[in-house]
Amino acid sequence: MSLAEVGDDVYGEDVTVNRLEAVAAEIVGKEAALFVPTGSMGNQLAIMTHCGRGEEVICDANAHIFHYEMAAAGLLSGVQLYPLANLHSDAGIGSLSEYIREPLSYLPRTRLICLENTLNRAGGTVINLAQMASVYRLAREYGLKVHLDGARIFNAAYALQCEAKELTRYCDSVMFCLSKGLGAPVGSILAGSVDFITQARRCRKLLGGGMRQVGVLAAAGLVALADTSHLLVDHEKARRLAIMLAQLPGVKVDPAAVETNILLMELEKMPLGQFLEESQSRGLLAGPMGRQMVRFVTHCDVSMEDVEQAGKLIGELLL
């Protein structure tokens, strides 16, 4: 980062940002890419670029854009989200067409389907290539666009043993995070066609996301993308923790549900706040997910030994 060659990115003159955008576009098989400060901004730019005011976006009821983006879709783009329970399943995809609005004068117009792979709030679960392809085919049939919230697209790709670009073939735009498991301190990527990115770049400036000598951050993004294979180890660590936790009394953990680097643990008796407080005071950080669910995430700064220690510590806390 300290050696990064920089320039004014608002003028397109930051060579490190330009390199990152080119590399990122190539990795997801899209024509162009845009470096954005956060994944939320990337998703919102996609919604703003794909949709007109008063239009509708179908998403899973667990979607990040629905729960964790401050109702921005309504606030910034004037669109309505239509969250569907279990969209990310064969059954959900099978009945998806029922929720696409008919072209009637008194209904909003469906414009976009937003998928999330992996689906954070469901515990980092994966949708497979066939499922992505079905949604994309349906979207084409109805003249809709597909945006992929791929904050953890590489986790999905490793879990499916495919390349990220095989998944992103089935979307018009994709956002992925350089932060999170890839380990960069800041930044996300939005990718799509040249026309889409040209318009998204205008919207990024509108939202105050045009950053000047931002090559220092893009440099970290290039390092993050150079080798993503450590994500596979994160999956092993999450599975290892799940197996340890599944044996403990007072909690419910399903090791088979752990597909990537996220693990959900349901507390049967201990209040969530108490568990999080006690674990934090002993050096183990986890987050809440709903009222009785603890969310653990494994990443490159946590070793397998750390995971073993975490499992033992949780056992002690639950006694």
Alpha-carbon torsion (42, 43, 49, 50), positive or negative: positive
40 binds ligand PLP per the rule CB under 6 A: yes
Contacts of 271-275 with C-beta under 8 Å, sequence gap 24+, read: 275/317
151 binds ligand PLP per the rule CB under 6 A: yes
55 binds ligand PLP per the rule CB under 6 A: no
CB of 152 to ligand PLP, least distance (A): 6
Cα separation, 251 vs 241, whole angstroms: 13
CB of 270 to ligand PLP, least distance (A): 26
- Please identify which residue in 49, 77, 120, 155 interacts with ligand PLP, judged by CB under 6 A: 120
Cα separation, 122 vs 157, whole angstroms: 17
155 binds ligand PLP per the rule CB under 6 A: no
Number of residues that bind ligand PLP (CB under 6 A): 12
Q: What share of the chain is helix, strand, coil (3-state, %, to 5)?
A: 45, 20, 35
- Please identify which residue in 1, 8, 15, 38 interacts with ligand PLP, judged by CB under 6 A: 38
CB of 182 to ligand PLP, least distance (A): 12
Q: List the interface residues with ligand PLP, window 182-211 (CB under 6 A).
A: 188
Q: Which is nearer to ligand PLP, 45 or 177 (CB)?
A: 177
Task: Using DSSP bridges, classify how beta strands 145-149 and 109-116 pair: parallel, antiparallel or unpaired.
Answer: parallel
Burial class (CB in 10 A: 0-12, 13-18, 19+), 147: buried
Could you tell me if 178 and 220 are in contact, meaning their C-beta atoms sit under 8 angstroms apart?
A: yes
Residues forming contacts to ligand PLP in the complex (CB under 6 A) are 38-40, 43, 64, 116, 120, 149, 151, 177, 180, 188
